């Protein structure tokens, strides 16, 4: 009895099906492995730097960020906080974040602007309404996100705008009621083209001085005055070496919370999401802490015996008109003008 041969084409068909099945299983295993790796990443330590003291609203927000990230990741991600200039001066911390030595930093936008020119819109004089909540509404809006995304140009990932409060003018024996009162007055600023330009436009003599050297510069008369929010003035005791403080509402000390872009994009997507979620809640914590303490700091500064006064709406309007040339001259590319108009429009919308 002869054996029946299995046709060759039948064997080939079986072989193809087996190979396909193996490929399907291998692909499925690969996807499962990737999913597993996404959830079972190695422990991560985040370096987070900023400039403010540990009892500042900014640090309270940073502590909340640490708490949330570590809680949401079950301790797989640890946040190490470095406040009070521990990782260098303001510019050094921006540079450290840009090159990846620092993962996340919170820095005044004025300090970031030499690295990312478009972000300087935040510091245009008399841009923002005097109502803090209206300013936050604009910064948290779609146009605020567009402004924050300009940080990509410097290799940063913008996470959010954090509060520092409205800046005040402080001087020694010089009352400021109108722009011309700044004539010949040496005012310390951060190293920011916009801040230098604002005092030049008003007739002053702006001088960049590092934050860490500011108290001594005021005490020794290297500069006649400076600008900073209430909490910075109080916590750094600037009112001890400045006898006149003017609540001017000329600009906010707005901080950009930002990460090294390559580092952030290399994180597991679940960790990126947790950082983003935690940032929003921590930002609000910092804002609430600022609101809770500003009145207290204002009263304590007044009790110290300084000459403290607030510009009238009429005086503010004179300053606002005198500041328009700075907007036009220093935020002047087509892209910048388009973005600035969006900001103007949003400000008008929230003020209605």
The C-alpha torsion from 87 through 89 and 95 to 96, rounded to 10°, is 0
Contact 165, 231 (CB under 8 A): yes
Q: Which residues contact 329 (CB under 8 A, 6 or more apart)?
A: 197
Query: For residues 71 and 69, what is the distance between their CA atoms, to the nearest angstrom?
Result: 5
Over residues 288-333, the pLDDT tens digits come to 999 999 999 999 999 999 999 999 999 999 999 999 999 999 999 9
Structure tokens given for 180: 């011309």
Res 38: pLDDT:
57
Three-class SS of residue 105?
A: strand
Res 40: pLDDT:
83
Domains of the chain: 41-114+136-163+254-293 (3.40.190.170), 167-252+294-351 (3.40.190.170)
Q: Which residues contact 264 (CB under 8 A, 6 or more apart)?
A: 157, 272, 275
Res 242: pLDDT:
98
Res 39: pLDDT:
67
- Reported pTM: 0.87
Residues of the chain short of pLDDT 50, as ranges, are 1-37
Res 188: pLDDT:
98
């Amino acid at each position: 009895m002869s054996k029946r041969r299995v046709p060759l084409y039948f064997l080939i068909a079986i072989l193809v099906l087996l190979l396909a099945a193996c490929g399907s299983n291998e692909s499925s295993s690969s996807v499962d492995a990737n999913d597993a790796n996404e959830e079972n990443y190695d422990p991560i330590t985040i370096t987070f730097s900023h400039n403010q003291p540990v009892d500042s609203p900014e640090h309270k927000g940073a502590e909340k960020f640490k708490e949330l990230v570590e809680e949401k990741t079950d301790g797989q991600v640890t946040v190490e906080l470095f406040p009070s200039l521990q990782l260098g001066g303001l510019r050094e911390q921006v540079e450290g974040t840009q090159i990846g030595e620092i993962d996340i930093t919170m820095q005044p936008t004025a300090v970031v602007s030499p690295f990312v020119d478009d972000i300087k819109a935040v510091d245009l004089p008399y841009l923002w309404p005097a109502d803090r909540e209206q300013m936050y509404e604009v910064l948290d809006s779609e146009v605020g996100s567009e402004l924050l995304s300009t940080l990509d140009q410097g290799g940063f990932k913008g996470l959010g705008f954090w509060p520092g409060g409205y800046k005040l003018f402080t001087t020694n024996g010089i009352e400021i009621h109108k722009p011309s009162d700044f004539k010949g007055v040496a005012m310390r600023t951060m190293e920011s083209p916009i801040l230098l330009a604002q005092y030049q436009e008003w007739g002053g003599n702006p001088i960049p001085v590092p934050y860490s050297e500011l108290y001594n510069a005021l005490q020794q008369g290297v500069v006649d005055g400076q600008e900073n929010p209430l909490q910075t003035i109080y916590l750094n005791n600037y009112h001890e070496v400045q006898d006149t403080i003017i609540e001017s509402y000329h600009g906010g000390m707005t901080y950009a919370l930002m990460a090294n872009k390559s580092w952030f994009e290399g994180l597991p997507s679940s960790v990126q999401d947790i950082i983003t979620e935690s940032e929003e809640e921590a930002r609000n914590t910092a804002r609430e802490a600022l609101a809770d303490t500003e009145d207290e700091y204002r009263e304590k500064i007044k009790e110290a015996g300084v000459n403290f006064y607030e510009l009238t709406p009429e005086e503010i309007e004179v300053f606002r008109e005198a500041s328009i040339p700075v907007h036009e001259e220093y935020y002047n590319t087509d892209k910048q003008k388009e973005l600035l108009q969006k900001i103007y429009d949003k400000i008008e919308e929230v003020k209605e």
